[in-house]
Amino acid sequence: MDLSKQNKECYILAMRGEWDNLGKVCKEAWKLVLPITGSGDTSLHLAVHSGKEEPLKTFLAQVMEIEYTLYWKSFAENTPLHEAATVGNLGAVKLLVELRKEDLLEMNIRGETPLYRAARYGKLEIVEYILNECEDYYTRSPLNWMAKGTPIIHAAIQSENFEMVMMLVDFDKSLLEMKDSKNQTALHVLANMPHIFESGYLKGFWAKLIYDCNNVLPSLLFSTMIVRISFFNFLIFFLLSHHRAA
């Protein structure tokens, strides 16, 4: 079987979740580290979509025998850890961090680290694991906080996983001070998402965020008329949603 046909077969098996059959086709370790998709993903990248440790654990044991890093990144420069963080596979994330902890600070072509990627896609378990279980050298690196002019807290808010947002704020309140390429703060982002307020989301989230913002950003919140207006809009939306919920 020529290489292109074999790659196609591997891709089909991965898409079907037929991991045992994929392992049989890729008995030779080098086959696991070759790109099998148009975006340059290898079987290692796709294995994390199982949602479990396996088959990644078995595949990693196989590739340890060879030089496995040649195609460690996809064409978008995502490592398998980026991919595992994106899909929320905690077991795979732990395996990959144990194997290559330095990948926590690898950036893809968008400038995203695995932590940023997890926050962008609302993967609470992954964010919690990286923040709480990995060393400060990796978790507090400024490489995690910004990608393509968008702070991690903005990306987290846009994911609408607000438990995760508050976890990030609790971890580092200075994230609330960050502005994006349009000079917008986290509160501006919230003010531009009125459907969240209309849904009557957890009152505790809004109350805590207002408290944190008032304690961390007093000068930022009240230094310009634009920010004042945005903050008052924020309060209006909050009060309206509270009233409707009542």
Within-domain flag for 28: yes
Residue 159: its pLDDT value, please?
95
Whether the Cβ atoms of residue 58 and residue 23 lie closer than 8 Å to each other:
yes
Whether the Cβ atoms of residue 153 and residue 169 lie closer than 8 Å to each other:
yes
Whether the Cβ atoms of residue 122 and residue 164 lie closer than 8 Å to each other:
yes
> Which domain does 55 fall in, by range?
3-241
The letter for the amino acid at 146 is M
Between CA 14 and CA 147 the distance in angstroms is 30
Within-domain flag for 215: yes
Within-domain flag for 246: no
Name the β-bridge partners of 146: 151
Residue 217 has pLDDT above 80, yes or no: no
Kindly report the CATH number assigned to the domain that includes residue 155. 1.25.40.20
Residue 190: its pLDDT value, please?
83
Residue 50: its pLDDT value, please?
95
Tokens of 86: 């994106």
Name the β-bridge partners of 147: 150
Give the least confident one: 17-21, 101-105, 128-132, 225-229. 225-229
Which residues are within 8 A (CB) of 105 and not within 5 positions of it... i.e. 6 or more apart? 113, 138, 141, 143, 144
Residue 103 pLDDT class (50, 70, 90 cuts) = very high
Within-domain flag for 213: yes
Predicted structure pTM score: 0.81
Residue 193 pLDDT class (50, 70, 90 cuts) = confident
Within-domain flag for 60: yes
Residue 6: its pLDDT value, please?
77
Residue 119: its pLDDT value, please?
98
Within-domain flag for 237: yes
Residue 194 pLDDT class (50, 70, 90 cuts) = confident
**pLDDT tens readout for residues 104-150:** 999 999 999 999 999 999 999 999 999 999 999 999 999 999 999 99
Residue 187: its pLDDT value, please?
84
* Count of domains observed in the chain: 1
The mean per-residue pLDDT over the stretch 162-174 comes to 92
Within-domain flag for 62: yes
Residue 230 has pLDDT above 90, yes or no: no
Residue 4 pLDDT class (50, 70, 90 cuts) = confident
